[in-house]
Amino acid sequence: MLEYGQGQQWVDGGQHEQPDEPTRNGIGQTDEEWQAETPPIEGTGHTRKPREMIILRVGQAGAQLSNATWELLSLEHGIKPYGHLFASLISEDCLNNQTFFQDTPTGQQVSRAVIVDLEPTIMDEIRSGVYHGLFHLDQLVNSTEDASNNYARSFYSVGRRMINRVLAQIRRATEACDMFQGFFVINSFGGGTGSGFI
């Protein structure tokens, strides 16, 4: 009968001693070495930097969900609709907002997002909405014509003409991150832009 014990691993049905090594983080350092080199986050006792997520919202569904999502994230992190922190709510928990927001030199919190739609109507609502202060204008990418709820129109013609602008914004957002973790994509599989552009 085969058994599995502490410090041992299965290899070809047998047991062999596994050397006790410190855990490594994938780049050749132990967790302790990495923590010793990583400066603490300002205002907190945390030694690990938060990892950043970039939210990609594509099409009408992704763009319309934008206001509700940013309203919730702003309230959770103590950020006013135009991007400044509530002075009375600043605490260690609120300072850990770098996952979804980035600081500007003026102290404003701006979302880590790229919002894409071929039709300008929904994007204009975001530009003039209550939470417009959470976005740089170049994060909102749109065309002047829509996909007419047609996958092929978004994939082959209208979407193809603006893909370079979208990729440039995604590249800029990614380069602004210190510890990029990944993308959070919101789109619909129906319609034109949400299904064909991705």
pLDDT number for residue 20 = 47
190, with CB counted inside 10 A (0-12, 13-18, 19+), is: exposed
- Name the pLDDT band for 86 (thresholds 50, 70, 90): confident
Instruction: Report how many domains make up the chain.
Output: 1
Is the pLDDT confidence value at 26 over 50?
Answer: no
The answer to whether position 33 is within a domain reads no
Q: Which residues contact 68 (CB under 8 A, 6 or more apart)?
A: none
| 112-131 residue pLDDT tens | 999 988 888 888 988 898 88
pLDDT at 16: 46
pTM above 0.75, yes or no: no
CB of 115 closer than 8 Å to CB of 170: no
Q: Are the beta carbons of 122 and 63 closer than 8 angstroms? A: yes
The residue that leads in pLDDT, 25 or 113, is 113
9 assigned to some structural domain: no
Note whether residue 112 is domain-resident: yes
Structural domain containing residue 149 = 54-85+99-196
**pLDDT for residue 29:** 57
Taking the C-alpha atoms of residue 107 and residue 151, their distance in angstroms, rounded to an integer, is 41
Residue 92 has pLDDT above 90, yes or no: no
Compute the average pLDDT of residues 94-116: 84
We report the CATH number of the domain holding residue 103 as 3.40.50.1440
